[in-house]
Each structure stands twice: as structure tokens, then as C-alpha cells.
Amino acid sequence: MVSARAKGDQKARKAACLRAPFGEPPEGLLPGSLHTRYTHSVFGWFKKRLAQPPGSLGRQQVSSRLVEQRVRNRIMEELASLAEGETAVRHWGAGDYFGSFFDWFPTGCDAPPQNSTMTGKEHQALSEVLDLMRRASAATVEMVDEEDLIGSGWPARIAASADEALRLFRERGAFSDDQEEEAPSRPAGPHVH
């Protein structure tokens, strides 16, 4: 049973997450654990790296729209990996199975940040995958091995949700990583690259 105060705190945190610009930690989020600090540092690094043209070594900035296009494409790649279920766990290992997905989301947010390149349906489907991943992470002991994680059933449940989300994203395709677009211009096959 969640108290009224806890529900109010959750609502306030969710509202802060939705207002936060992409790549910025939400207002009022206190960095607590090493995982929180690591996630914010990786998340910030990804944002900075995606804001640079490929091969530019930081000499030129790109628009926030292009960053959002690149993030959507990378999230599609993560969904494709999660949709592989136990194969992904065996390939990446239990820690990276979670870590590579969570690198794309601020710690403490209950929903993905708004991204102008995603439709409402895509955002909702991604929110459902994020919720499953958070629940699976919370239910999993810290040093779990691959077989125990697979045996928990979480990768299979996540795979079904990730596959459905990926199907929605693939209906529109992938955006260019090099120029701004109003709509995706590339088909998104099994691997988005």
C-alpha cells in the first residue's frame, strides 16, 4: 500500500522528469547511489557525444533535433536487443543487459523523457518496456548470473514487450543520424544501423 505522501512524491518526480530537457537530470533528483552517479555521468556523456557530428572530435555542435533523432535510433537498437530475450542476456551478460538499456534514461524517472521524434504510441510502448525493466532490475539480486536471470522469467516478459514496441518504431522507420528530418527516411530492419 502506497501512502498519499509517497504518491504525491512520485507524481512530483514524474512531472520533473517530463519537464527536464533530454539528457539533463530532473530537478530535485538527489544523486544517491554509485549507480545513480554512474548513470548520470554516462547519460551526460551520451548526450554530449550525440551532439557532435560523427568524426568531428567535438569541433561542431548539432541541433537538439538531430540529437533526438540519434537517441530514437539508439533506443530502437536497444529494443531490438531486448526483443532477443535470453539470447541477449547470454550475449551481453546480466549486468550489461540492464545497463545498456538504462544508459538512455535519466535515473529516477518513471517515464522516458519527451522526444519530439517519437509518436505518442511509441512513447507509451517505450514507457511499458522501461517499467518492466525497472521492475525486473528491482526484483533481481545485484550479482545475478545469466542463467538465474533467464530462469526468473523476466527476459521473456521483457522480450514480448520490447518486440511490440520495436514493431511500432519500425512502422515509421529510422531517422538519419546526419541531418534533421521531419519523418524517418530509412527502413528499420532487424538491426537499425
Would you say how long the chain is, in residues?
193
Calculate what percentage of the chain has a pLDDT beyond 90.
49
| Extents of the domains making up the chain | 49-193
* pLDDT tens per residue, range 35-45: 333 344 455 55
Buried (b) or exposed (e) across 118-128, using 16+ Cβ within 10 A? beeebbebbee
Residue 93: Cβ-neighbour burial (10 angstroms; 0-12, 13-18, 19+): middle
pLDDT at 107 over 90: no
Cβ–Cβ < 8 Å for 22, 117: no
Q: Is 163 or 59 the better-scoring residue by pLDDT? A: 163
* pLDDT tens per residue, range 133-161: 999 999 998 888 999 999 999 999 999 99
Say which residues have a Cβ less than 8 Å from residue 4's Cβ, sequence separation at least 6. none
> pLDDT band for position 15 (50/70/90)?
low
What pTM was computed for the model?
0.70
pLDDT at 3 over 90: no
pLDDT of res. 44: 54
pLDDT of res. 5: 60
**Hey, is 124 helix, strand or coil?**
helix
Segment 85-107 mean pLDDT: 90
